A and B are shown apart, each in its own frame.
Chain A
Amino acid sequence: MATDHKKGHVQLPRADAIRSRLIDTFSLIEHLQGLTQAVPRHTIRELLDPSRQKKLMLGDQHQLVRFSIKPQHMGRISHAQRMLSRLHVRCSQKPPLSLWAGWVLESPLFRNFIIFLIFLNTIVLMVEIELLEYTNSSLEPLKLTVEVAAWFILLIFILEILLMWLSSFFLFWKSAWNVFDFVVTMLSLLPEIVVLGGVTGQSVWLQLLRICRVLRSLKLIARFRQIRVIILALVRALKSMTFLLMLLLIFFYIFAVAGVYFFEKYTRSTRQDLEYSMFFSDLLNSLVTVFILFTLDHWYALLQDIWKVPEVSRFFSSTYVILWLLLGSIIFRNIIVAMMVTNFQNIRNELSEEITHLEVQHKADIFKRQIIQRFVFPFSNPILFLKGFLTSFPVSTPLALIPFFSYDKFVPGLRTPQLWKIACFFIHCLFSPLYYNLSSFFSTDQLDWETLVHQNLPGLMEMDQDDRVVWPRDSLFRYFELLEMLQYNLEERKKLQEFAGIDLGLLSVWESHV
């Protein structure tokens, strides 16, 4: 684009980048082609917000919407905290029940109580099973106690689920752990209901369902954070191994079907001393046999048994067994081990990456605070400070616009340092010479400025959705224009300094000769 700046200007890629950003932000190409009347005025948040969406739809419907996708900081704001800041909770006469339910569920006393009950349930079940065989009448009160305890614990579990439903019904179903809890409790509740319903007898299904009581102990895995992490890691490792398992299944199939055909004569042999004659009789048995060979159990005994039958060719049977052992048991099992190890290593790396990411973010926040303080209490040398202020005058026009900035936050009022930041800017612009004697505040710099900036730049560049800035439209245009002009100015100044340096050198040489 050499036609649109003055002659003698070299093309700067930075300036071009700024200009293209300007064009992109304001959709100038579409405007200059006469396509749209205006700049995108709305963001995706306004579209998703139902109240603002209505206003949008009633207004001009040919508006452009700007989309931007940024990752969100995972906040630790719990559902209860969010509920606290809602208007209908704050303005109602009595606090709603869901708030109380949430408070109860999150209190450590209640949580520990539930964990204790789960342990107690396990013990109670064990005692009950032991006592089932004893028909001693002196143990009758013990049996009664154990029965009552089991019912009581079940009731408390149901109560806990009801509390969770009370707290928020729809969020309950979104978490997989809660669904698992619900399923386990309902499953163990089923036999009790069936017994109460009047179905008596020793039917097998009833006994099976009773056994499901034991599943209540599984609720424990949802409570402890470490166990959750391990299970999540396992599930992830298994997910990445699906194709390996599929390949393994294919090989199982191949060897099972081939086994049935290969050992037909062995199956139909009339010898009496064969121990494993039923092992290859039909497909299901063959599959089980292949699995037995996979676990390397009694394979040599099986092979020797097959050799007893003379009609089966020794060569093919030995090849079959040895090939399957090598392929399945030795190679595949070790591939599975290798993939598990790799996956766990990857998971560990990712976790550490996340931790370092959080650290980088934290450092970036500290750095931002440092910059504020640097502006409020700038340079140590007052003369240099004034000089610095004067040289930055051409660029101070955007500084004058800064008081108009505001922050757009989800939960207003939580980040008060930002408001302080705005106030400091205002003060700096208007009353800056008065602050030079407070320079000692920022004199302890271990690193120089450039290294500090480079270290914190990645963290700063990954801004989250909370850090958006609202610009007035014409100020934004002017900002881009001025930034571009600044690049050209800086380039010119660099050239002038070079000339000055050469002249200075010549001057000093000339002076020395005089």
Chain B
Amino acid sequence: MSQVFRRNHLRVVSSSLLDTASLAFYTRFRKFKRKDDQCRAFVKRVVTSRLFQIVMISTVSLNAFFMVLWTSYKIRYQLFRVLEISEVIFVSIYASEFSMKVYVDPIDYWKDGYNLLDVVIIIIIVIPHFLRKIKDKHYPYFNIADGIQSLRILKFITYSRGIRTLITAVGQTVYTVASVLTLFFVLMYIFAILGFCLFGASEKGDLNNWGNLAVAFFTLFSLATVDGWTNLQQQLDNRNFVLSRAFTITFILIASFIFLSMFVGVMIMHTEDSIKKFERELMLERHVTLMEEKQVILKRQQEEVSRLMRKQKSVDYKSFSELVENFKKTLRHTDPMVLDDFGTSLPFIDIYLSTLDNQDATVTKLQGLYYEIAHVLSLMLEDLPPKSQSSQKSHDK
């Protein structure tokens, strides 16, 4: 027992030691300041400059164009050198971009989704080389590895702001899409098992299309997208299955009409919401910046005037009107000034003066009414005491 206790005690001690050690290490790591700040700033400036972006965009486009050329065997055969050299150039450019960005900010680099996309693409580029080294010459999947090189064009998205905003807006709908797809998968699973049991289990069943679960899934997907479903239905009919028509028609109604239409409806709703939100944020931002600018201008104006007034120590300006007295003298009556803002327009003057007149009229009416109330109350008070005296007298009696 004491051994157990000692072990526990040791464990507790060691865990606390580990904690403190890791804590200390973590704080030290956090406070670790890189000594190469200037170099980092320079590289950061390079990475975020226009020239760099143009270079990257042109590289990606050229790479995409070359990939189109290399799909044809003849061109690949004739321009083999160009293929090799261009591959080397492109891979080196991508690798250097990756290393520069990681150098600038090693920890925050991994938080941005588009940087992760870059990393994935570099891994994809590297895969064929590894495969060729590891596997022997007759590995059947080399062409697959070559095929997925076409994903390199996705780097284009990082540098196009329009597509990024589109993806952000549409990306909100991903969760809904995923849930609808899951529901669809569950539905297909149910019907696949049903179909397998009904049509594919027995020996005289349609083993081609319903033989195992995978093929059943494909058949059902073909029914859902209503492509060539009459052929499948005919094969079932040839084998004289009783329920086949009802099964097929029910599934097509549920999957194709209801589910896929629901898909459209859900996407419409979400696209509308996200676009509205986006536009509202844009308007709000613009409004806020506008108000801020106005405030700044107003404040600056006020400061200027007060500063000017404080500066005038030679003449004793007591108020603003004295300050501009000289200016007023230069104004002539025959000089026209054309203004079109609301404050100096005639409708404003009309409305403002009418409102003031209205205010006066209302206040006068109110005063009149108050005087009347006071007068009536005083009259009531005059009438009251004789009545109370007479009532008291009668009460005394």
A interface list, Cβ under 8 A from B: 1, 3-6, 16, 18-21, 23-26, 28-29, 31-33, 38-39, 41, 43, 45, 66, 68, 70, 242-244, 246-247, 250, 253-262, 264-265, 282-283, 286, 296-301, 303, 311, 313, 316, 318, 322, 325-326, 329-331, 334-335, 337-339, 341-342, 345, 368, 371-372, 374-375, 378-379, 384, 387-388, 391-392, 395, 398-399, 402, 405, 408, 421, 449-450, 453, 460-461, 463, 465, 467-477, 479, 481, 490, 497, 504, 507-508, 511-512
Q: Complex: how many Å from CA A29 to CA B301?
A: 8
Give 28 pairs: A residue, B residue, CB < 8 Å, sorted on A. A1-B305, A20-B302, A23-B305, A28-B327, A29-B308, A32-B323, A68-B341, A246-B163, A247-B166, A254-B151, A261-B143, A262-B144, A286-B71, A313-B141, A326-B181, A338-B268, A379-B357, A388-B360, A395-B356, A402-B349, A469-B345, A472-B333, A472-B334, A473-B336, A473-B337, A476-B344, A504-B370, A508-B373
* Contact A468-B228, Cβ < 8 Å, known A19-B320, A29-B301, A387-B360: no
Q: Complex: how many Å from CA A418 to CA B302?
A: 38
Residues of A within 8 A of B360 (CB): 387-388, 391-392
Q: Which of B9-17, B108-116, B361-369 contacts A (4 or more CB under 8 A)?
A: B361-369
Chain A minimum-CB-distance residue to B72: A282
Interface: B89 (CB within 8 A): no
Residues of A within 8 A of B353 (CB): 392, 395, 399
* Contact A512-B378, Cβ < 8 Å, known A261-B147, A342-B272, A388-B361: yes
Q: Is the CB of A512 within 8 A of B350?
A: no
Contacts A43-B338, A453-B351 known; list 16 others, CB within 8 Å.
Answer: A1-B305, A28-B324, A283-B71, A296-B225, A300-B218, A342-B271, A460-B347, A468-B338, A469-B346, A470-B336, A471-B344, A473-B337, A476-B339, A479-B344, A511-B378, A512-B381
Q: Complex: how many Å from CA A45 to CA B338?
A: 10
* Contact A469-B344, Cβ < 8 Å, known A262-B144, A300-B218, A476-B337: yes
Q: Is the CB of A300 within 8 A of B308?
A: no
Q: Which of B166, B177, B302, B355 is in CB contact (< 8 Å) with A16?
A: B302
Residues of B within 8 A of A463 (CB): 340, 342, 345, 347
Chain A minimum-CB-distance residue to B320: A4
Q: Complex: how many Å from CA A347 to CA B374?
A: 63
Q: Complex: how many Å from CA A379 to CA B365?
A: 13
Residues of B within 8 A of A375 (CB): 350, 354
Interface: B137 (CB within 8 A): no
Q: Is the CB of B143 within 8 A of A371?
A: no
A363 to chain B, nearest CB (A): 13
* Contact A300-B306, Cβ < 8 Å, known A28-B324, A39-B337, A473-B332: no
Residues of A within 8 A of B343 (CB): 18, 21
Q: Which of B144, B304, B364 is in CB contact (< 8 Å) with A387?
A: B364
Q: Is the CB of B267 within 8 A of A338?
A: yes
The majority secondary structure among interface residues of chain A is helix
Q: Complex: how many Å from CA A261 to CA B320?
A: 82
Q: Complex: how many Å from CA A378 to CA B353?
A: 12
Interface: B264 (CB within 8 A): yes
B interface list, Cβ under 8 A from A: 64, 67-68, 71-72, 140-141, 143-144, 146-151, 153-154, 156-157, 160, 162-163, 165-167, 170, 177, 181, 218, 221-222, 225-228, 260, 263-264, 267-268, 270-272, 275, 298, 301-302, 304-306, 308-309, 318-321, 323-324, 327-328, 330-351, 353-358, 360-361, 363-365, 370, 373-374, 377-378, 381
Chain A minimum-CB-distance residue to B323: A32
Q: Complex: how many Å from CA A326 to CA B370?
A: 79
A333 to chain B, nearest CB (A): 9
Nearest first, the 3 closest Cβ-Cβ pairs linking A and B are: A261-B147, A257-B150, A338-B271
Residues of B within 8 A of A25 (CB): 337, 339
Q: Complex: how many Å from CA A283 to CA B66?
A: 12
* Contact A253-B336, Cβ < 8 Å, known A16-B302, A463-B342, A507-B374: no
Q: Is the CB of B268 within 8 A of A342?
A: yes
Q: Is the CB of A511 within 8 A of B374?
A: yes
Residues of B within 8 A of A41 (CB): 335, 337
Q: Which of A250, A264, A374 is in CB contact (< 8 Å) with B154?
A: A250
Q: Complex: how many Å from CA A26 to CA B342?
A: 17
Residues of B within 8 A of A19 (CB): 320
Residues of A within 8 A of B342 (CB): 460-461, 463
* Contact A299-B327, Cβ < 8 Å, known A342-B272, A460-B347, A463-B342: no
Chain A minimum-CB-distance residue to B229: A300
